[in-house]
Each structure stands twice: as C-alpha cells, then as structure tokens.
Structure 1
Amino acid sequence: MSLAERKLFVERWIRSPLKVASVTPSGPELCRAMAKAALAGPARRVVELGPGTGPVTSALLSHGVSPDNLLMIELDPAFADHLALQHPTATVVRGDATRMQRILQTHGWPECNAVVSGLPLIAMPLSVQARIVRSAFSMLAPDGLFVQFTYGPFAPVNPELIRRMRLKPRRFAWIARNLPPASVWTFRRLP
C-alpha cells in the first residue's frame, strides 16, 4: 500500500471513525484469506462491500477475478474516487450497501457468486445489518458465499439474523499477523 493510500485511509478514519471502523487498512494476509474464502477466480462474479482503498480488491484481482466480474460498492466519495482511478476497468459504485440489490440490477447483474464485505457489520444496528445481509443473499447464486471479516471472537453477523435467515457460519481463517488480528468468516444458506 502506498503512502498516499495510507494517508487517505487515516484521513477518512478521522472524519468518520464509526464508518471506517479501523485505523489501518486490512493487511495482505487478511486480504488473501478473504479472496480464498470467496473462491476467487476467473469465472466468479464478486461484489465487494466497503472496499476502502482497495487492499481486498487487489487480492481478488490477484486471485484471478476479472475486473469486469468485480463490482465494488463504496459509500465514502473519496474512497470511491480513489478506487475508480486505481481500477478503471472494474465497476465502482458510490452507494449504500443496503441498496445492493437495486445497484446490481441497474448494472445488469442478475446474481453473483460471492459478496465480500469489509463493512463493520457487527457494529451496525441490527436493522441495517439485516438489510445488508438480506440484500446480499437475494443476489447470491444458490451456492454463493457471503464473506466477512471481524476483529472479534464471534461470528460477525448477529446470531438472531443467522437463525432467521437459516445461514451456516464458518470461521474460514484466523489471521494473527493482521493489525489487529482478525478472523474471516463465510456464510452460506442452509439447504
């Protein structure tokens, strides 16, 4: 990550610490684990929520996701502008993740294979968290994955929401060398 990207990240965190939720971007090991958890590859359509300065984006592309199969939804205008410059052939949408279904339909995506989230879901009110997760699962292919990381010890989706939506959470990886240490979780629909 360049010095300019670190500076941008810290500036955005200072402006809105609850929305950015971390003082530092995700480390390389965490980003690689997120891409692996999403089964990133050339034939996969991936939606990334809250990409920030794009470290997970870079990992997804490095794992073979084609830029035309990557759609990023970023609420922060400075991050969205940065991503559009860094990844001109991918789709960057300045928008709200709760409107994911409408955004994907507007861009001609009937579904996707994975939704990879860098949003601080667990810190969000349950109603907002539910709208994001429901929207993601409404657009995921039947075998699709929702991938989320957390700094906490438990699944980063509210247990009541997991139960109501009949999701199967699985801790995919624990990344001790991230600052702070993080876990990557995957969520699938139960049959």
Structure 2
Amino acid sequence: MELNQWYEKGITPDEYIKSLEKHKAGFSHIYANYSVPEDESFLQSIREKELRVIVLAEPWCGHCMLNIPVLLRLSEKTNMPVRLLPRDENLELMDQYLTNGKSRTIPIFIFIDNDGNEIAKWGPIAERTKQFVDQYREKLPAKDAPDYDEKFKELIGITGKAFKEDNQLWSGAYESMKETLLDNIK
C-alpha cells in the first residue's frame, strides 16, 4: 500500500484521543500545557511544504502520551494534518519502520508530501527522553530475575510521571522533531 493510502486509512487525532484510557489525563495535560516556541522561520518552512503526518501509535503507549500532544501542537501551527494508525493493526506498515531494524517501538511519525512521498521519519523518542529513561532502565535486574516485574512497574511509574510533568521532556521532543524535519526538507 502507498503512503497516501495509509494516511487515508488513519483516524483523526480526536478519534485517537477518544480511544485513550490509561493515558488520557497525561495526554490531555501535555496538550493543554505545551506551546510550540516562537520559531516563525521554521514553522513557515513546514507550512510551505504542505506536509501531512502518519502516526503509528497505541493508546496504552507512554511514549505516545508524551510525543503525540507535542506533534499535534506543531501540526496546528503549521497546518499539517495528522492521521493515526494503531500499530498492532498495521504491522505491514510498522515493519517498514522498525527501530534498529528489529523493534516495533512507537510512536513513529511519517511525514509525507501531497504526492505521498516520505519526507522524514521521526520516532520513537527524542534523545533527551532516551537518556532520561536509560538512567532508570540501567538499574533494572535481568528479565529472568524474580523482582524484574516489580522493578519494571516502578520504572513505568517513574517515567510516566515525568512524561506528564517534565516540560523539558516535551521541549526535547519538539526540538528532536524540528531537527529531523530541518534535516529532511529542502
């Protein structure tokens, strides 16, 4: 299937937000409190490209809770339409965007032009977020350790709270998206 067809298959951001359960409050908090920086030159360059975005995501994903509200704020400032596809129902597309060639980590943002050509791909997380998560992930016991599940749940609690509250992580996501777009638009 062509990227334009994948885009057309996607749901609107409002439909995606309605599907949220666990992360609805965090998603809504980030969306309500994040503002795209004044960066008219960059924003205008994106408007001129008339890009659209295909997002591979899942409502249960904490990284989606962090990154999609930032993308939506960027899309509003640039008139960049967004459509979302559930990763698990669209593995044919997901498997074209594996992280490190092997992992179905989300979210993945595929920026396309009006002809359906891929202009840029972003995801699943910004470097700032990765560094934050890695400092806790390094402390996890081996997966076969008896306390792994307990420690992993603690990690999810710590990172989820930070994703909801740490505006530096939100800014890091924006800066990472901006860098990716600037590297790929001509």
TM-score, normalised via structure 1 length: 0.32
The higher-RCO structure (CA 8 Å, 6+ apart) is 2
Q: Which has the higher strand share?
A: 1
Q: Which has the higher helix share?
A: 2
